[in-house]
Structure 1
Amino acid sequence: MSRKCTDELSPEEGMEVDYQPEDLPMSSFDERCVEHGVKDMRLEAEAIVSDVLFAVNNMFVSKTLSNGLDLAFINVETREGKRYCLELSEAGLRVVGNTFDQVDAGLSAQYHETVYSLLDSLSPAYREAFGNALLQRLERLKQNGQ
């Protein structure tokens, strides 16, 4: 799959180039997450937790359920006090339980591509916290003249 990238040379001229994703340099995080061409879902789960912890009551990678290269479980408590167990796989994130460290085989929740989408669907308070954080960041950028 080819992506387009525009590298700004100056405000007047830009250069569009085609490149393959594998041609891109990997960040150190990406290098840690990929082992033999497979992303380590445990590391992905830890990154997800650190990314959105500010907008939920509690969130952590399960120590009880089996996590591995291809599957990880994340426990989350929303600001409304509801607890969920999330499954993270190559297919995305989905709710698999309605309490910490629980996988309910009868629960058929849809997959979400991002944790933001999943939490947005579960928690109005998450949506508000995320929106407030975004507004604060925009204000800081404005104050710094950017």
Structure 2
Amino acid sequence: MEVDCKPEDLSKCSYDERCVELGEVKDMRLEAEAVVNDVLFAVSDMHVSHNLSSGLDVAYINVETREGNRYCLELTEAGLKVVGHTFDKVNDGLSSQYHETVYSLLDSLSPGYREAFGNALLQRLERLKQNGQ
């Protein structure tokens, strides 16, 4: 991946660009906060778990879908996966696949998420259309 900033401009670069430039490992706690901020509008509740320990390599996110289903998600470099069916609870016997993005994971779990995401996209396109004319 090519980075479009110089080391002296690191404060102006995105978090991903800084990690590549400095050869750092991403802090999953920060990644988890970004995930929550990206999709909070399309779910009933979503927050980084304060009861499960997070670190550089793993973070846990609690999400309640618009249908009222609760999940505990694990975020690692491999992606996101469901690790429990209640907040702050990891079920080691649960076998679920990793998703590369939170969008893919929520799309597979929640029709309400798909609808909210689609509506938000349509609204944004309408605003762009109005601003372009």
State the TM-score, normalizing by the size of structure 1.
0.80
Q: Which residue of 2 aligns with 1:42?
A: 29
Q: Is residue 122 from structure 1 mapped to residue 102 from structure 2 by the alignment?
A: no
Q: Tell me, yes or no, if the aligned pair for 2:3 and 2:17 is still in contact at 8 Å.
A: no
More helix by share: 2
More strand by share: 1
Q: Which residue of 1 aligns with 2:15?
A: 29
Q: Where do 1:62-141 residues align within 5 Å? A: 62-141=49-128
Q: What SS does the aligned partner of 1:38 have?
A: coil
Structure 1 unaligned spans of 5+:
1-20
Q: Percent identity?
A: 77
Amino acid of the structure 2 residue aligned with 1:107: L
* Higher alpha-carbon Rg: 1
Q: Tell me, yes or no, if the aligned pair for 1:33 and 1:43 is still in contact at 8 Å.
A: no
Q: Tell me, yes or no, if the aligned pair for 1:59 and 1:74 is still in contact at 8 Å.
A: yes
Structure 2 unaligned spans of 5+:
none
Root mean square deviation of aligned Cα: 1.8
Q: What SS does the aligned partner of 2:132 have?
A: coil
Distance 2:19 2:29 in 1: 8
Distance 1:22 1:39 in 2: 17
Aligned residues between the structures: 126
Closer, same or farther: CA 33–64 of 1 in aligned 2, 3 Å: farther
Distance 2:63 2:14 in 1: 27
Q: Is residue 58 from structure 1 mapped to residue 45 from structure 2 by the alignment?
A: yes
Deviation per residue, 1:35-65 (Å, 9 max, x gap): 7520100000000000000000000000000
State the TM-score, normalizing by the size of structure 2.
0.88
Deviation per residue, 1:77-109 (Å, 9 max, x gap): 000000000000011000000000000000010
Q: What SS does the aligned partner of 1:84 have?
A: strand
Per chain length, whose mean CA-contact separation is higher, i.e. which structure has more relative contact order (CA < 8 Å, sep 6+)? 2
